[in-house]
Amino acid sequence: MHRLALLVLCIALVAGCGGGDKPATPSPRVPETLKPPTTQLDPTKNWTLTFVTDHGTFVVSLEPRVSPHATASLVALARRGFFDNTIIHRIVPGYIIQGGDPTQTGQGGPGYATVDPPRPETRYTKGIVAMAKTSTEAPGTAGSQFFVMTADAPSLSPDYAVVGRVTRGMGVVEKIGQLGDPNDPNGTPTETVIVEHVTVASR
């Protein structure tokens, strides 16, 4: 009887752990109404955001001199866990991956916007990280949704606030960038990619 009870317990534990299955897709969160940060980042320091996903990790070096308001906002949001357990909700192979929306609708944000008008000479090349906006919003408008270029886009107009560049883990970004249907103009992912945690560092 003792051996049988032990066997049943072990089976129950394995079943309870899910047998190593991938984590479930995070549930969408309700829209939040937050306040923007009141201070900007020290531009003399090197600021990074580390994105830990269930498909690997990549690091973004921020550019507070280029977009002081959007970079300060990203750091503040990351520190409060805003991006934790969100998904990459848009993937267009050979173009971009996009995340930062806890509602998973492509319409969510922090409840506020910042504006850092891009310079006319701004170019969106592979590895650049910029802030998404709607076509009706002013150039440089940013909430919480970001995108990472997985290829050069010379025809993309300078409308999006550039917040940094991927400096480590570009291979991870490229791998994620393949998880979309090239024939789907909406960029619906073919596989769920979870942003588990985003950490901030400066030196």
Residue 11: pLDDT band with limits 50, 70, 90: very low
Give the domain ranges of the chain. Answer: 35-202
pLDDT score for 22 = 60
User: How far is residue 156's CA from residue 203's CA, in Å, rounded to a whole number?
Assistant: 33
User: How far is residue 92's CA from residue 28's CA, in Å, rounded to a whole number?
Assistant: 21
Residue 52: pLDDT band with limits 50, 70, 90: very high
**Between 2.30.30.40, 2.40.100.10, 3.40.50.2030, 1.20.1260.10, what CATH number should domain 35-202 receive?**
2.40.100.10
Residue 47: pLDDT band with limits 50, 70, 90: very high
Q: pLDDT digits over 113-162, tens only?
A: 999 999 999 999 999 999 999 999 999 999 999 999 999 999 999 999 99
Give this prediction's pTM.
0.88
**Structure tokens of 193?**
């990619």
User: How far is residue 145's CA from residue 123's CA, in Å, rounded to a whole number?
Assistant: 19
Q: What are the beta bridge partners of residue 199?
A: 50
User: How far is residue 33's CA from residue 2's CA, in Å, rounded to a whole number?
Assistant: 56
CA distance to 28, 54, 79, 121, 184, per residue, from 114 (Å): 24, 29, 18, 21, 30
pLDDT score for 25 = 85
